[in-house]
Structure 1
Amino acid sequence: MMTYFELSPSAHIIFGVCSLLLMVVAVLILVNVCVLRLRKRYILLSAVLLLEVMFMLQGVVDVSLKTVQGQPFYFFSDIIGNMPIYALVLWFVLSAVGEAVLLAYIRHTKKNILTAGAIKESLDALPDGVCFYRSDGQPMLVNTQMNKISGELFGTEIMNAKSFLNNLQTNNSDGKAQIISTEPTLVIQSDEKVWDFRSNTLNVGTSEVRELVAYDVTEQYLLNKELELRNQRLSSVNERLRKYNGDVERIITEKEILNAKMKVHDDIGRSLLAFRSYLAKPESQRDIESVLLLWRYTISVMKKEAVHEVKSNDWDLLLKAAEAVDVTVELNGELPDKGNKRDVLIASLHECLTNTVKHAKGNRLYMNISSDASSLTAEITNNGNQPDGEIKETGGLKNLRSTVESAGGVMTIETKPRFRLILRFEGAE
């Protein structure tokens, strides 16, 4: 059976290169096992694998020297040179398989443990700045973002964290930063970025570690600014709404008083006419009960024991209410002269007027009316903002729908491409 010594020099070179590769991989495995601090059995296995590969490499080199240069045999070359080819190949294969298994285990272990390098890479990937330092200010771990902030403000990376924090608090940045607030946290604006600096003390064993974190709160800061502007506008709108509600209450009160006066005037007039007619009749044809019934009803109205609804110029009242909140009402078409449809349309305009000012922030209200002998359709829109989503019918809109349906109409609300309130009535009044 052919031994390794009997192979050609070219075959010896191939085996030598393979042995060298196995040697390099074995060294790499032992270094990784030690760096990852794996269990002792893996360290021992890696060391044994390295030694046997070294033995193999030494034997292959000795045989090559003997073959090429005629050097005398050594202990390693004597064993390797007289080894059958299949045994040597099997040794190579087993060594390669052992190294492959250990490399796969090392790769799997790296994915499931945190190393110092992995921690640093993770911190560098954060959009926020992080700095850990000792009580004297010496940095222990500073990520890329925190060093970038320090470079933008002070022209250098963090050399002493306490000095860096003190410079932030005193705004010693040559005008590159602006302090927005110092309590409860330090908030600084720099290059269109807003940073919220927070410090903390961590107990690690028997020592203390200081932590300084810079949070990027640019988006929240801009949102707060926008919210403040919206609140100011909302306060102005609320003031106008309060004025509008006061005007509506006053107008309603005046309307009720006027209705009551007109009712009393009409009822007393009718009662006086009935009494005059009673006196003009012969005594045998007089009906005292009907006259007394009419006077009792008139007295009950004056005592507010009976109520009568008198329609006044509701369109003028609506225009006056709209004028009070700086809204222009434009009518395209003709309102019914009287009846439930007119009352519902006026009530719809009142509700849309409130929503135009409160929600849509518009200043124009449009009503288009089209009608024929059998139907009437009214469409109400405004020039305000489009609703953000589906409109929930609560409060005024819910009551309005009940009023429309009670009057025999159909109410539809559309939000795209803009708000539209559509009222449809079928049949004659």
Structure 2
Amino acid sequence: MTTFYLSSEMEQSVWMICLFFSLILDVFLFLASPDRGGSRRCRLLNAGVFIALLILLCIAGDAFDKKADGLPINPLLPFPMWSLWCIADMVGTLLLGQTAVLIHRKGRTLSHNSVKQTIDMLPNAICYFTPSGEFKLCNLQMHRLFHILAQSDLQHFDELRQALTECDKKSGVVRLPDEEQTYLFPDGKAWRYSQTEITVPDGTVYTEAIFSDVTELYEKGLRLKEQTEQLKKFSRDLKILSDNVLTLTKETEVLSAKTKLHDQMGAGIIAMRQILQQEQVSQEAADSLLLFQKAIRTIKNDNEYPQERGELAEFLRDASTIGVKVEMAGELPKQEEIYRIFVIAMRECLTNGVRHADATALYVTARQDGNNISLRITNNGKPPESVIVPRGGLLNLHRHVTNLGGTMEIQWSPAFTLIIVMPVEKEAAE
């Protein structure tokens, strides 16, 4: 049986080299294993193996040196060489197995470094602060943004708050006044800041500070504001066009009334001529004379009518000019836009009543009910023969009403009735 002392120097050297590499691998496993849970037992095992290998290697090395120098050797390793090789094989197999397990678990276990690497990959800037204000965990994006804000490294939560307060003075970062906690950085990106408190299971409260990239949302908001301004301009232009259309419609209606008045006067003059030339008066001539008298009264009233200003006064004067009596009940609203719509509605009903129903009287009722005000218009003319489809002036009136959030209803039976309901502003209602 060959012991370590009787074996060759080559075999002794190879065996000690194997022990040395096993010792190095054991140290690596001890340092690489995480200090938690079941891994603690492995670390204790590695520590025990390390001590045993170190003692064994020291004894073998001492014996190897003494043998080389020809000195007497204390037989501390009286074991056969094959048993020492078995020990080396068992230790090597154990350590290699641990190495394989460690490599296999490396991608499946979380460590401080893996968490740090993960948050560094986030597009948002994030940082966690301890109750005392010291930062606990912070990703690269937060460090980059803070360096732009304060031209220094982030160490404390108070530094971050101070940098956000003084960003307009010290850096090219601008706080957007119309956005909540949103900052525009020199590179054109917009970041929205938020902070929350997080309580961990042990009761410690950490502060989470986050910068979220809202550049796309900010740019869309700018485009939306630009489009809104364009729409406002278009709305103003449309209002001017609408007012021009209303003015043209009014002038057309007045011209139509004057033309009708002119025709009545012409028919009356012709009737007077026929009466003077003939001894008998026909019914047609008598009717023409009545229309002639009506036209004369209309001209007289128009000349005597006081020159009041205002849309309602002009409407009443125009109605009197064409011989239509207007009876009004209630007060028109003070809100200018609704007031104009009501006058437009009365004028449209006046024109249609005279043209289609031979009306001589117009009945207008305005009534306020809470936050709504209604206008009801009817006449004493002939009732419509069928359902009225809004066209021309009525269609334009309906568009004005709906643009202000109101409703318009046209009743044709038993008599023509126009009903408009408009919401009024709270101050105007009071």
**TM-score between both structures, scaled by the size of structure 2:** 0.50
Q: Report which of the two structures shows the higher radius of gyration computed on alpha carbons.
A: 2
